[in-house]
Amino acid sequence: MIPRFDLFNEARQPFASARESAEYLKRARDRFSVQNLSYWFLGSSPQMPDRLTWLSTYDQEYMAVYMREYSPLNDPVFDVCFRRLLPLDWHEMRDADQQAQMIHQVAEQYGIGRHGISFPIRDPGFGDAMFSVNFECDDRQWDSLRHDLVNGFHLFAHFFHLRMKDVISRRPVTSEFDLSPREREVLAWAADGKTSWETAQLLGVSERAIRLYTENAMNKLRAKTKTQAVAIAVKNDIIH
């Protein structure tokens, strides 16, 4: 059972920083005796987020793997979740979508529980968010536990989002990506039409180094191709 707590009193003050909100998420996980809690803010569009914030109690290595291999752009859970108003039970996606099944299999390798619920949070004029609760239990126990989790976390998820809005609004878009000067420079030359070999000659480094800088920039920008990375960088004034 989810413990009783004074939701409205706790939600009165917005978070002062991302660090404070991340620590609160960890305390909430322990307090509610669930395996993990996760909050995504996706900006104005789940397809191409202007801002992306991910706070989670997941294993940090898994989070890096997820962003490198999948990200919200290639995770069908986000697309399905934002087409509905009701919470999404993870088993619906795991049983119906091969990509979602693959992501779940990877997650379980990093100690993430088999079961979970994701709550879509629609905030017109600000952006979409998703709050997820992760739990480990026998499949036969899940049906009864799911009811308690939905009731216990539905309001909690929305109030957590309200407390995050000031933190998100204060963060410049470019700080979300944190590209190094060299990574920006490599993308700028790519935007100018230069190949990796030409960029290597211009910067006096190896072509292998250019490919590494490009790959790092793609990972930080959640892009699957160099062209997409350049487009995101231009859109967010990372390069001009």
Helix (H, G, I), strand (E, B) or coil at 88: strand
Helix (H, G, I), strand (E, B) or coil at 70: coil
Ranges for all domains in the chain classified under CATH 3.30.450.80: 7-170
Which CATH number describes the domain made up of 174-235? 1.10.10.10
Most confident of 52-66, 74-88, 102-116: 102-116
Q: Given a cut of 50, is residue 180 above it in pLDDT?
A: yes
Topology of the domain covering 7-170? Beta-Lactamase (3.30.450)
Ranges for all domains in the chain classified under CATH 1.10.10.10: 174-235
Nearest by Cα to 121 from 152, 86, 158, 90: 158
* Per-residue confidence (pLDDT) for residue 48, from 0 to 100: 44
Q: Given a cut of 80, is residue 127 above it in pLDDT?
A: yes
* Angle, in degrees to the nearest 10, between helices 181-191 and 226-235: 100
* Residue that the structure tokens 């350049």 belong to: 230
Half-sphere exposure of 194 (CA within 13 A, CB side): 19
Q: What is the percent of the chain with per-residue pLDDT over 70, rounded to a whole number? A: 88
Using CA atoms, how far apart are residues 127 and 43, in angstroms rounded to an integer?
4
Q: Given a cut of 90, is residue 195 above it in pLDDT?
A: yes
**234 alpha carbon, distance to own chain's centre:** 21
